[in-house]
DNA sequence: AGCTTCCGTGATACCCTCTAACCAACACCT
DNA sequence: AGGTGTTGGTTAGAGGGTATCACGGAAGCT
């Protein structure tokens, strides 16, 4: 028996507890939103008393940061997987939508109203850029051969540092920004419940936005 | 001396205190967001002790509801005034943007991530519809004479109960939904700080979205 | 076995919302 | 003018939250 795992039992226990905490946290978030997340309630729910959790997370913010990181990671992987299996831009857009609808609070944790003081750590923005790259790639591929230069594209030609050296033409960057903001516009209003009461199907609106974007 | 004011001194004092509370609440919201709003802190800041405020607001939710109502009212009036002075659809869109940028947290209070338990009361949805009507009017006016029927428009032709008897053609309703979601997409991502770090000008993106919408 | 490191606990300080009981001031009415 | 009721303010306190601390005990390591 080779001891395949270099991790100590303590480490394994630790990571396992952290995982269970985060699992409970996701349950809480799914039902009551991120702002209602309570370390105390999680601890009691796990059968231990309040302050114990501070052995695993420095504070509430660190737990939330970890949840954000996990959500970004999951979204990036989901989009990457879809892209690998041949999904085009429309496919990625629909993948994003199903991912958002599967757990609205998770989407809103990433792209909803931020806590004013909170500053995202370095690595989460890195994953966020990874997501952007996947989408920009698809945008570049979906771009019609002769796309007229829009004012936005010419503006982006001079302000593309955020694309981090991505070789896509400015028109692709412009398409990405349009795509991102439009999809988010539909999704966030839908998830926030601003369409409830209106009887129309948000999916039709989503597809409409997508169609005009690719047409 | 005619006693011009039929309100009793007590009533006047009451409304004046309520107004001051809401003013302080807006200050808190502007700096720390709606979730960090504290009745206690407001009370102390006004020189009285905690529970006193419960004479004026039944609970925290009622205060927030009142803030939401005030914000909706202000936005509706602002858009209505702009419309009265001859602003077209693009003008209304820019009015919305400046209104949102003037106080980001106020915009996010209306259109950002909702508090999961919270249900908006009847009259706020009424003001929200008033806003919609103003925009739908402008959409109907901005509609090119021969607009091809989109799948969204045909869908809306059968699902227009939310338009509350507005006589606009379904194409105008489709335009309204596109407008709303696109502007909100740009605004909410901008206000939530998701463009910080990227160096481009969000105003250019906003104008680009607006242009493609009206072109 | 002994030592060390780590985990969970209760106690505590300090926030918050919200209720209850009490007190003071004002308005009103006879 | 003086009693009376409404109204606005107070403190005390229940209940829940974050977070720190000191302590006891268990688990791992040598």
pLDDT digits over A42-73, tens only?
999 999 999 999 999 999 999 999 999 999 99
* Burial environment of residue A9 by CB neighbours within 10 A (0 to 12, 13 to 18, 19 or more): exposed
Rounded Cα–Cα distance for residues A73 and A187 (Å): 19
pTM: 0.95
| Closest of B172, B167, B85, B81 to residue B131, by C-alpha | B81
What's the mean per-residue pLDDT of chain B?
Answer: 93
Give the residue numbers spanning the domain of A101: 67-213
Domain count along chain A: 2
Q: Are residues B88 and B140 in the same domain?
A: yes
CA A207 to chain centre: 20
Q: Are residues A51 and A93 in the same domain?
A: no
Q: Among A10, A38, A58, identify where a domain stops.
A: A58
Q: Are residues A3 and A93 in the same domain?
A: no
pLDDT at B5: 56
How many angstroms separate the CA of A48 from the C1' of D28? 22
CB-to-strand D contacts below 7 angstroms: A 8-10, 13, 37-41, 50-51, 54, 58-61; B 10, 13-14, 17, 43, 47-52, 55-56
Q: Are residues A108 and A79 in the same domain?
A: yes
Task: Kindly report the length of chain B.
Answer: 215
Of B32, B116, B150, the CB nearest to A208: B150
* Burial environment of residue A51 by CB neighbours within 10 A (0 to 12, 13 to 18, 19 or more): exposed
Question: CA–CA distance from B131 to each of A8, B88, B106, B156 (Å)?
Answer: 61, 15, 16, 19
Closest CA of chain B from A180, distance in Å = 8
Rounded Cα–Cα distance for residues B129 and B141 (Å): 18
Closest CA of chain A from B35, distance in Å = 7
Rounded Cα–Cα distance for residues A161 and A9 (Å): 45
Q: Are residues A46 and A87 in the same domain?
A: no
pLDDT at A5: 61
Question: Could you read off the pLDDT tens digit of each residue along chain A, which spans 215 residues?
Answer: 444 466 887 889 999 999 999 999 999 999 999 999 999 999 999 999 999 999 999 999 999 999 999 999 999 999 999 999 999 999 999 999 999 999 999 999 999 998 877 788 999 999 999 999 999 999 999 998 787 889 999 999 999 999 888 999 999 999 999 999 999 999 999 999 999 989 999 999 999 999 999 98
Q: Are residues B81 and B103 in the same domain?
A: yes
Question: CA–CA distance from A59 to each of A36, A53, A108, A114, A194 (Å)?
Answer: 15, 9, 21, 18, 33
Q: Are residues A4 and A91 in the same domain?
A: no
pLDDT at A165: 83
Q: Are residues A72 and A48 in the same domain?
A: no
- pLDDT tens-digit profile of B59-113? 999 999 999 999 999 999 999 999 999 999 999 999 999 999 999 999 999 999 9
Q: Are residues A52 and A103 in the same domain?
A: no
Contacts of B125 in chain A (CB under 8 A): 197
- pLDDT tens-digit profile of B94-106? 999 999 999 999 9
Q: What is the DSSP letter of B50?
A: G
How many angstroms separate the CA of B119 from the C1' of C26? 38
pLDDT at A11: 86
Question: Which H/E stretch holds residue A84?
Answer: helix A60-84
CATH code of the domain in which B16 resides: 1.10.10
CATH code of the domain in which B187 resides: 1.10.357.10
Helix ranges, B36-191 (H): 39-45, 60-84, 89-102, 104-111, 122-142, 151-158, 170-191
pLDDT at A1: 43
Q: Are residues A71 and A42 in the same domain?
A: no
Q: What is the largest CA-CA distance in chain A?
A: 65
pLDDT at B169 over 70: yes
Quickly tell me which residue has 């979906």 as its tokens: A142
The nucleotide whose C1' lies nearest the CA of A51 is D19
Q: Are residues B46 and B112 in the same domain?
A: no
């Amino acid at each position: 028996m080779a001891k395949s795992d270099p991790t100590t039992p303590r480490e394994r226990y630790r990571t396992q507890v952290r995982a269970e905490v985060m699992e409970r946290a996701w349950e809480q978030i799914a039902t009551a939103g991120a702002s209602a997340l309570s370390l105390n309630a999680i601890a009691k729910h796990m059968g231990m008393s309040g302050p114990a959790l501070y052995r695993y997370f420095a504070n509430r913010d660190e737990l939330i940061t970890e949840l954000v990181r996990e959500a970004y990671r999951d979204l990036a992987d989901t989009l990457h997987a879809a892209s690998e299996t041949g999904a085009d831009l429309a496919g990625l857009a629909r993948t994003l939508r199903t991912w958002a609808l599967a757990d609205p609070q998770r989407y809103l944790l990433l792209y909803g109203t931020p806590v004013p003081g909170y500053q995202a750590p370095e690595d989460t923005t890195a994953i966020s850029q990874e997501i952007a790259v996947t989408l920009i790639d698809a945008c570049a591929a979906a771009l019609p051969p002769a796309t007229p230069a829009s004012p936005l594209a010419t503006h982006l030609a001079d302000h593309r540092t955020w694309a981090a050296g991505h070789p896509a033409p400015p028109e692709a960057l412009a398409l990405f920004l349009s795509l991102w903001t439009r999809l988010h516009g539909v999704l966030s209003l839908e998830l926030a419940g601003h369409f409830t009461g209106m009887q129309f199907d948000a999916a039709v609106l989503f597809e409409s936005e997508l169609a005009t974007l690719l047409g």
